[in-house]
Amino acid sequence: QSVLTQPPSASGTPGQRVTISCSGSSSNIGSNYVYWYQQLPGTAPKLLIYRNNQRPSGVPDRFSGSKSGTSASLASSGLRSEDEADYYCAAWDHSLSGWVFGGGTKLTVL
Amino acid sequence: QVQLQQSGPGLVKPSQTLSLTCAISGDSVSSNSAAWNWIRQSPSRGLEWLGRTYYRSKWYNDYAVSVKSRITINPDTSKNQFSLQLNSVTPEDTAVYYCARDFPWTAEDYFDYWGQGTLVTVSS
């Protein structure tokens, strides 16, 4: 059971906008930044969004992040086939004094 | 370019100690800004941060509550690497283990470089 809660799956057609939610608590999302990682099969997770809504260089601007209270979301607008992957949210938890992750959302491009 | 190269056995017997090493190139384990982490991933537990080691005039370690009584992360400055030891393993510890770098308390406080991952199976 992951500390952060994500839906197990999400899907969309090419060009569509899809959002993935991440729910936490006051000790993690509510008081710290949220990060999003993308994981392709057989590879390590790769940073997609940091500090709630910042994109590292090289990440397409169709990906965006937001946070409100103890929840966050990742949006992919203009969905592409190469976006099919697992997505994980993460945050520092000051009660646990450690990083916590969501259970992951498998994004399928139909 | 930073690279993290993991090594260690893929099979460990129950009750024994899991040991993995992460060799660093392109950075230093003694960096005054980086932290060196171990993270694991399994179908049942998802991604789970295990702990980190970092140097800030002296060495510090932070461990996840879930494994605190069984884990040790040690730096090896002579080889520019760090290691993970997890004692008294059970089949629940079967997972892909990753090492990763981050920069806590900075604007780059995220895992930017990861090792290739090591599947460790706990089985007799």
Summarised one tens digit per residue, pLDDT across range B36-63 is 999 999 998 899 999 999 999 999 999 9
> Tell me: the pLDDT tens digits for A64-108?
999 999 999 999 999 999 999 999 999 999 999 999 999 999 999
**Shortest CA distance from B98: residue in chain A:** A44
Question: Coil, strand, or helix at residue B13?
Answer: coil
**In the prediction, which pLDDT does A36 show?**
98
Quick count: other Cβ atoms within 10 Å of Cβ B108?
Answer: 15
Q: Give the pair of three-digit tokens for residue A45.
A: 């997770």
> Tell me: the pLDDT tens digits for B67-99?
999 999 999 999 999 999 999 999 999 999 999
* CA angle, residues B56, B62, B66, in degrees to nearest 5: 175
Indicate if the pLDDT at residue A1 is higher than 90. no
Contact yes or no for B82/B29 (Cβ under 8 A): yes
User: What's the Cα-to-Cα distance from A82 to each of A29, A42, B50, B123, rounded to whole Å?
Assistant: 28, 15, 30, 36
| DSSP of B33-93 | S-EEEEEEEETTTEEEEEEEEEESSSEEEEE-TTTTTTEEEEEETTTTEEEEEE-S--GGG
- How much is the mean pLDDT over chain A? 96
Of residues A45, A92, A96, nearest to B65 (C-beta): A96
Separation between Cα atoms, residue B59 and residue A89, nearest integer Å:
29
Indicate if the pLDDT at residue B107 is higher than 90. no
| A92, A93, A99, A106: best to mutate for the B interface, most B CBs within 10 A | A99
Confidence of residue B106 (pLDDT cuts 50, 70, 90): confident
Indicate if the pLDDT at residue B108 is higher than 90. no
Indicate if the pLDDT at residue A16 is higher than 90. yes
Of residues A44, A100, A102, nearest to B117 (C-beta): A44
Separation between Cα atoms, residue A61 and residue A106, nearest integer Å:
20
Contact A90 B117 (CB under 8 A): no
Indicate if the pLDDT at residue B105 is higher than 90. no
Contacts of B85 (CB under 8 A, 6+ apart): B17, B18, B19, B71, B72, B73, B74
